[in-house]
Structure 1
Amino acid sequence: MRRDVLEAVAKARRERLAVALVTELDTGSSRVVREDELADDAMGQVLAPLFLSGRSMLLKDVEGGIFANIQNPPPRLMIVGAVHIAQSLVPMARLVGLEVTLVDPRQGFATSERFPGQEVLAEWPESVLADRPLDRFTAVAALSHEPRIDDLPLAAGLRAGCFYVGALGSRRTHASRLERLRLLGFDSAELGRISAPIGLDIDAVSPAEIATAILAEIIMSRRRPHLPAPNS
C-alpha cells in the first residue's frame, strides 16, 4: 500500500474522521475517500450507505470489482453525572467497546474510589467539550438530573449529530427540559432525538438494571440508526 494512503488513514484516525479504503480488485490500487467528501466523489452515492452502517463490503456491481473497507472512528460514550447508575454503566460500556468519558463537576460524586480504573473528570461539561468535542460516533447519556449540568451536553450532542442522546428523568422533568432547549433554538424534530426517560422500557428498577437498559438502547441506536428515539 502506498505511503500516502497509509498516512491519510492515520490522519483520519487522529481527527476522528470516517474514511473508506477503496481498493480496485483488478489492479490492487487503493485510495482513501473521506465521508465528508462524498458529495465530490464519483462513488459517493455507493459509499454513503456503507458509512451509515459502518460495514465494509465487496462491490461486485462496480466494473472490475471494488472492496470498500469502512474505517469509522471508535465509538465513544460521554456520561454526564457520576451517579449510581454510572457506576454500573461505565464497566458495561467499556466491555462492549465504548470509549467512556465520565464528567461531573460535583467532586463528591466524581471520585476515583467510586469509579476504579476510569478517568473521572470533575469539571463542568462545557470545559470538557472544549477539548473533547462530540461527533456522530459519540453517545451522550445525561444522568446528573441537574439542568445546569445536563442541558449543555444534551444541546451539544444534538448539534454534533451524536448517534445517541439520552437523559434521565420523568416525562414531566423531560417536558421542562424540552422547553429550556427550545429556547436555545431547537425545533421539535431535533428534540425528538432525545431518548427520555432514558433506556429501553424493560421495567428496570435498580441502578444496574437501568444501566443495562441504557446500554441496550445505545447499542440499538448504533446498529439501527434509522429508528427514532424510542422514548421521545
Structure 2
Amino acid sequence: MRLNLLSDLNAERSARRAAVLVTDIASGEQRLVREAEIGSDPLAQELRERLRQGKSGLVEQDGHQFFLTVQAPPVRLIVIGAVHISQALAPIAKGLDLDVTIIDPRTAFATPERFPDVPVRAEWPDIVLPQLGIDRYTAVVALTHDPKIDDPALSAALKSECFYIGALGSRKTHERRIQRLMEAGFTEADIARIHAPIGLDIGAISPAEIAVSILAEIVATLRKDRRRSA
C-alpha cells in the first residue's frame, strides 16, 4: 500500500469515518473511497453493500476482480443513566463488540465499582456528549427517567446523525417527553426517531430482560438492510 493511502486511511479511522480500500487484483492498483464519495464510485453498489455488512471481500465487475478492504468505525453505545438496566446491558453490549460509555451526573451511581471495565463519566450529558461526539455509528439510550438528565442527551442525539435513539418510560411518560421536546423546538419528525417505549416488545420485566430487548432493537436497527424479509 502506498504511504499516502495508509496515511489517508488512518486519518479516516481517527475521525471515525468509514472508508473502503479498493484493490484491483490484476494490476495491484489501489484507491481509497471515503464514505462520502461512494455514490460517485464505479463500484458504488458493491461498496455500499460491503459497508453495510462491515466485511471485506472480493467482488467482480465487467470481468475485473477487486478486493474491498472495509474500514468502519466501531459501533458506540452511549448509555445515559448508571441504573440497574445499564449494569445488565453493559457486559452484554461488550460481548456484541459495542464500545460502551456510561454517563450519569449522580456520583453515587456512576462508579467504576458498579461498572467494571466500562468507561463511566459522572458528569452531565450536555457537558460530556460534545466531547465524545455523536456520529452515525453511535446509539444513544436514555434510561434515568429523570428529564433533567435524559432530555439534554436526547436533544443532543436528535441534532446528530446517530443511527439509534431510545428512551425508557411508559407511553404516558413519552407523551410528556414529546411535549417538552416540541417546546424545545423539535418537530414530530425529529421526535419520531426516538424508540419509546425502548426495546423490542418481548414482554421483558427484569433489568436483564429489558437490556436484552434494548440491545436487540439496536442490532435490528443497525442491521435493518440485512434482516429477513419473510
Indicate whether the TM-score tops 0.5: yes
Task: Report the TM-score, using the length of structure 1 for normalisation.
Answer: 0.90
Distance, in Å, in 1 between the alignment partners of 2:52 and 2:157 is 18
Equivalent residue runs for 1:135-214 within 5 Å: 135-214=135-214
Distance, in Å, in 2 between the alignment partners of 1:23 and 1:198 is 42
Shift of 1:145: 0.8
Name the CA shift for 1:62/1:150 in 2 (closer, same or farther; >3 Å). Answer: farther
Shift of 1:130: 2.0
Q: Which runs of 5+ in 1 are unaligned?
A: 228-232
Q: Which moved more, 1:45-54 or 1:158-167?
A: 45-54
Residues 163, 225 of structure 1: 8 Å contact kept? no
Distance, in Å, in 1 between the alignment partners of 2:48 and 2:185 is 29
Shift of 1:34: 0.7
Q: Secondary structure at the match of 2:174?
A: helix
Deviations 1:37-86 (A, max 9, x none): 33554544553344344343433124522222221101110000000100
Name the CA shift for 1:45/1:95 in 2 (closer, same or farther; >3 Å). Answer: closer
Does 1:115 find its partner at 2:107? no
Q: Which runs of 5+ in 2 are unaligned?
A: none
Distance, in Å, in 2 between the alignment partners of 1:125 and 1:34 is 31
Residues 78, 100 of structure 1: 8 Å contact kept? yes
Q: Secondary structure at the match of 1:189?
A: helix
Task: Report the TM-score, using the length of structure 2 for normalisation.
Answer: 0.90
Deviations 1:3-30 (A, max 9, x none): 1111111111111010011111211111
Shift of 1:207: 0.8
Distance, in Å, in 1 between the alignment partners of 2:42 and 2:64 is 15
Equivalent residue runs for 1:65-144 within 5 Å: 65-144=65-144
Residues 20, 71 of structure 2: 8 Å contact kept? yes
Match of 2:12 in 1: 12
Shift of 1:160: 1.9
Deviations 1:87-132 (A, max 9, x none): 1111111111011110000111111221122221100011111211
Distance, in Å, in 1 between the alignment partners of 2:226 and 2:127 is 32
Name the CA shift for 1:30/1:184 in 2 (closer, same or farther; >3 Å). Answer: farther
Match of 1:230 in 2: none
Q: Secondary structure at the match of 2:32?
A: strand
Match of 1:30 in 2: 30
Q: Secondary structure at the match of 1:109?
A: coil
Give the residue type in structure 1 aligned to 2:97: G
Q: Which moved more, 1:153-162 or 1:171-180?
A: 153-162
Distance, in Å, in 2 between the alignment partners of 1:30 and 1:226 is 28
Distance, in Å, in 2 between the alignment partners of 1:198 and 1:57 is 35
Name the CA shift for 1:9/1:211 in 2 (closer, same or farther; >3 Å). Answer: same
Q: Which moved more, 1:47-56 or 1:169-178?
A: 47-56
Q: Which moved more, 1:50-59 or 1:141-150?
A: 50-59
Name the CA shift for 1:156/1:84 in 2 (closer, same or farther; >3 Å). Answer: same
Q: How many residues of Structure 1 are paired with residues of Structure 2 in the alignment?
A: 227
Residues 52, 223 of structure 2: 8 Å contact kept? no
Give the residue type in structure 2 aligned to 1:218: I
Q: Secondary structure at the match of 1:65?
A: strand
Residues 166, 194 of structure 2: 8 Å contact kept? yes
Shift of 1:209: 1.0
